[in-house]
Amino acid sequence: MSLPSAPRTGEAGPAPGRRPAPADRTGEPALVPGTELVGEFEDSGYREPPQLVCRPDGQLVRLPTLLYQVVRVLDARRRDRDDRPLPGRGPVMAEVAAELSRETGRQFTTEHVAFLIDEKLAPLGVTSRSDGTPPPPTPGSDPFLAFRYRLAVLPERVTWMLSGLFAWLFRPVLIVLAVAAFLAGEAWLWTTQETGAALQDVLTSPANVLLVILLAIASCAFHEFGHGAACRYGGVRPGAMGCGIYLVWPAFYTDITNSYRLGRAGRIRADLGGVYFNALFVLGLLALYTATGFQPLLVAILSVNLEIIQQLLPTLRFDGYYIVADLIGIPDLFRYIGPILKRVVLRQPQDDRLRSLKRWPQTVVAVWVMCLVPVLVLQLGMLLLNLPQLLRADWQKAALLIENAGAAGNYALGMTSACLQILLLVLPLAGITLVLAGLSRSLVRLAFRRKSA
């Protein structure tokens, strides 16, 4: 009865397509108004650490050093515009070319600079074109298994305020005490309490089923406050909070793209913040249970435990995936599935994407890919093999739930509970089908590209 949540909505790279804010039409290249230089992506897994630039829409763009030097010169020009006459295009391009030549020891001309601006930076929505005209709309990215359908409910300023209420919970002493209490409570619960009997009692009561579902939803929402509070504790602003659909599951999310401004420890703290708050939620439920003995609270604790386990799995884009990604300093692991399979399975030479990685991050990514692909393929095979039995069992369970909807005396309450339970039966099957179908399409495209090469 757990609902997934998506901890991060933006990667350090091109974001969903939108038209950038118009640049000044000065006849010369300039940064798009509102663009901010962030600096080096700390503790990255790349041989050449990328530089980060924040666009006006809040998305972070990774740039190689050469392009960042161009942006840095344009940023200096922007800062100096109020202090000196604005020159024409030639002097700006010449200044950028001279700075690049000095920094790199190679000879750059204004034509080189124009190419970098028009073909590299402007399409990312970072600068205008070299003649000062606005950049084109930024192309939409299509990351594998990304969180696509979302609606912001709490704006950034509200998230910042609410996160401040909980940021103090990330003090190291409090974390140690809370985790110790959580582990002790879990040990007591699973060794002394009859959770199976509690589950059976809950399933016979529509009111208790609805209560457990509401507590599961509350836990998911509190999970998101954990991500936001971890960001604020680290000194960066969390983005909007909201809800939406991830694959087929209803999900909550918090935009913590700004955690890329932090080092490795800060990013992992932001990734684990949601699970940490799930643990705090469990402690609250345990306190209520010990005070009241109310059996549905045991089932709610079981639901939150399942949510924690789900979030820590490093397969879909949940917390476990981002923990692995931030541990090795590579934002999008899925984009390396093809290169790793070509390298390990097909014995082809490394492509540029793999060569750009440091040795140990490349090893971790390879292990992740070689574990992920067989697991998903095995799940696909088991799903196809058992699909008729699963559909039959779900159909029989749904029919039984509908038939017993009025057994508790309140038909409306019973039907609501039955519909929610049926939805929970259907969603996992539909979700894993979409996940495995997406992976299968990627593998088929890879095979066709190799065949046509």
Burial 322-351 (b: 16+ CB within 10 A, else e): bbbbbbbbbbbbbebbbbbbbbeeeeeeee
* Separation between Cα atoms, residue 383 and residue 281, nearest integer Å: 34
Q: Where does the pLDDT of residue 219 fall: very low under 50, low under 70, confident under 90, or very high at 90 and above?
A: very high
Pairing of strands 5-6, 249-254: parallel
- Encode pLDDT of 21-53 as tens digits: 444 445 688 888 888 888 889 889 998 888 888
CA-wise closest residue to 30 among 112, 127, 113, 96: 127
pLDDT number for residue 276: 97
Q: What is the mean pLDDT of residues 423-449?
A: 69
Q: Which amino acid is at 327?
A: L
CA-wise closest residue to 434 among 194, 173, 158, 246: 246
Question: Residue 19 above 70 pLDDT?
Answer: no
Sign of CA dihedral 378, 379, 382, 383: negative
Mean pLDDT of the chain, nearest integer: 82
pLDDT number for residue 13: 42
pLDDT number for residue 171: 96
pLDDT number for residue 231: 95
- Encode pLDDT of 47-75 as tens digits: 888 888 888 877 788 888 889 988 988 88
What the block records as the tokens of 406 is: 């009025």
Going from the C-alpha of 425 to that of each of 395, 397, 414, 422, the distances in angstroms are 9, 9, 17, 5
* Separation between Cα atoms, residue 255 and residue 322, nearest integer Å: 13
pLDDT number for residue 406: 63
Of the two residues 265 and 409, the one the predictor is more confident about is: 265
Cβ proximity of 246 and 147 under 8 Å:
yes
pLDDT number for residue 17: 43
| Range of lowest pLDDT (119-128, 365-374, 442-451) | 442-451
* Separation between Cα atoms, residue 147 and residue 176, nearest integer Å: 32
Cβ proximity of 56 and 32 under 8 Å:
yes
- Encode pLDDT of 321-343 as tens digits: 999 999 999 988 888 888 888 88
Question: Residue 83 above 60 pLDDT?
Answer: no
* Separation between Cα atoms, residue 387 and residue 389, nearest integer Å: 6
pLDDT number for residue 407: 62
Residue 355 φ then ψ, to 5°: -65, -25
pLDDT number for residue 321: 93
pLDDT number for residue 337: 86
What the block records as the tokens of 446 is: 């890879």
pLDDT number for residue 18: 45
DSSP, residue by residue, 213-237: HHHHHHHHHHHHHHHHHHHHHHT--
* Separation between Cα atoms, residue 67 and residue 69, nearest integer Å: 5
- Encode pLDDT of 170-179 as tens digits: 999 999 999 9
Owner of token pair 């039955």: 418
Cβ proximity of 239 and 255 under 8 Å:
yes
pLDDT number for residue 99: 85
Most confident of 119-123, 182-186, 344-348, 406-410: 182-186
Cβ proximity of 159 and 239 under 8 Å:
yes
pLDDT number for residue 312: 94
pLDDT number for residue 207: 80
Question: Residue 320 above 90 pLDDT?
Answer: yes
Question: Residue 364 above 90 pLDDT?
Answer: yes
Of the two residues 108 and 423, the one the predictor is more confident about is: 108
Of the two residues 259 and 430, the one the predictor is more confident about is: 259
